[in-house]
Chains A and B, each alone.
Chain A
């Protein structure tokens, strides 16, 4: 058992899986000699060679599109999008090709592809680097969307993604790469998709979050605790598949829920979470379900991002409201 930050856990998992399965091949920009923009592939090209850790031309569409063909040839590609915001330039290949090829070919061509992508804000990047685009991928049938919030989960969920037969968008929280650190077992393990994690127990309000927003929810729970409000924090871990049962159960236990996410409000994945809560736990609710999100404005330039992103303070406001205190 070692304490690792998230990027270390991801790097170690890639290394372990590449040792185990020689069909795995990594593709991306600056992932080879440079070891990745955030060092997620540090030293892997040295270890496994240029044929398996491939520096690609600057073109997201063909990084993902060629992964489809590599998978058709029997390999198991792991393409990296340097930032999920640039995934829009590969969206037609992800939504129209990766996600549908199994259906289109009636399982002749499964797509065991894991698309890794850092996302989310608060690290003062230039425009378009910080967007939380998970909802549009969650609305792309055939794809799974995985959003770990701890180093431990990043290892278990990435191992599960790599060993599975379905295509996965693996969203890695940019600001958590180094900030999030926790105990990671040395041995191999997988975490099943579609099982949420109770990140913090509590009895008054359920805060639902994923990825870096789990940290925000935990901070909000701390603040609420000082006011005598006990918050449970739920980390969804995977958006597709969604743990419908676990979510209904967690919310039913408190009767109040607040969803916290980094993406803009309208048609964000929070809308799916709220609808699911209403469908499956309506009778247990004693207050409307609220959302704490980014506003429906483009992700701003970096001096404005603290005001833009959901914060512990804004989340506390929502907690007070569902408690009828404000």
Chain B
């Protein structure tokens, strides 16, 4: 038994993909090979963005950044269960790969991290709400969005991301309760990464699982190994099917581990036990998928090398494009505050932009 299933006791998370990359006899992934490779490529991209963004931040070229490191299977396994042409993602701030899958761009994400509001403008037609910093506040939005789309006759499903920390907020409870009442087509995707900055999950809840909370709201809860791409993906597929069929919400607890710091301003060596971190490194979600793909002969060293080279190019182009935009303009303070701004605000704009010139 791994640390994932024993460290908190209680229910055992569903697991399909073992840490060595093996799957149960006869298991066939529900994704075509091309999608499996696309998912793996996105995992590599995510890891590379984590490294590059950290370096850029240290060089003073980027503001605060929260790496995904360790949660790739959780974020990408769930996102690949959605149909970006009709389903929606409601993110928090550590789900870049899911946002890219929906149609967001790296360039915009870098702009966002550089402090340019334009970076949080989701492209037209992309089914994605903006990045949310007020933890849990996005959960009621997801319920309203799912309900509103259903009200207008669409068969969309909404997947909202949040963490073990955010589950302590009242918004989580109010949103789950309303979703249960309205049978809204929403998936509450709770990434239990064990840490809310430095607060361990043991100080977030007295229960041994978050998934069991679903019972109290009248819908199913699933507990999966969040470092297992297939387990996450299968659980999300089920939740999508349920929501699409009008059967209402699902709560998924994806039990994973934040292998990096909370963000670029955090020093986890102050509070993370290095042995625990090492134990989780052995369960690396990206390495697991890699082993599986190599074993299945879907991936070769050569193909991986090519992927990495492409990623490097894409990332370099995105950094160049974002940096070419330059610093924000003072007008941006005022541009999207109101459709019909108060005259007073326009006077303030003139005063501030006049000074800036």
Contacts and interface: CB of A to CB of B under 8 A. Distances in A.
Contacts of A141: 337
A141 B337 CA distance: 7
B146 interface: yes
B175 A62 contact: yes
B129 interface: yes
Interface string A58-93: 010110111111111111010000000000000011
Contact of A65 (B118, B122, B151, B175): B175
Interface in A32-67: 51, 56-57, 59, 61-62, 64-67
A142 B171 CA distance: 22
A56 B179 CA distance: 11
Contacts of A74: 148, 152
Contact of A57 (B121, B181, B343): B181
A241 B134 contact: no
B134 A96 contact: yes
A241 B344 contact: yes
A179 B230 CA distance: 65
Contact of B134 (A69, A70, A77, A97): A97
Interface string B123-134: 010000110001
Nearest to A110: B339
Interface string B160-178: 0000000000110011011
A85 B339 CA distance: 28
Q: How large is the interface on B (under 10, 10 to 19, 20 to 34, 35 or more residues)?
A: 35 or more
Interface stretch (B34-42, B49-57, B73-81, B136-144): B136-144
- Kindly name the residue among B122, B147, B342 whose own CB sees the greatest number of chain A CB atoms within 10 A: B342
A66 B147 contact: yes
A65 B137 contact: yes
B117 interface: yes
- Kindly name the residue among B139, B171, B174, B339 whose own CB sees the greatest number of chain A CB atoms within 10 A: B174
A66 B141 contact: yes
B129 A109 contact: yes
A70 B181 CA distance: 16
A221 interface: no
A65 B147 contact: no
Given A65-B171, A66-B178, A97-B134, A73 B151 contact: yes
Contacts of B339: 102, 107, 110, 164-166
A102 B336 contact: yes
B241 to A, nearest CB: 21
A202 interface: no
Given A72-B141, A75-B151, A59 B130 contact: no
Contacts of B143: 62, 65-66, 69
Contact of B174 (A59, A103, A244): A59
Contacts of B149: 73
A103 B141 contact: no
B340 A164 contact: yes
A194 interface: yes
Contacts of A70: 144-145, 147-148, 151
Nearest to B120: A104
Nearest to A240: B342
A69 B146 contact: yes
Nearest to A96: B134
15 contacts: A61-B170, A62-B140, A62-B175, A62-B177, A65-B137, A65-B141, A65-B175, A66-B144, A67-B144, A74-B148, A75-B151, A102-B336, A107-B336, A108-B130, A240-B342
Interface of A: 25, 51, 56-57, 59, 61-62, 64-75, 77, 92-93, 96-97, 101-110, 141-142, 144, 164-166, 193-194, 240-242, 244
Given A65-B137, A68-B144, 19 more contacts: A57-B177, A61-B140, A62-B178, A66-B175, A66-B178, A72-B145, A73-B147, A73-B151, A73-B152, A74-B152, A92-B137, A92-B171, A96-B137, A97-B141, A105-B130, A109-B130, A110-B339, A141-B337, A142-B337
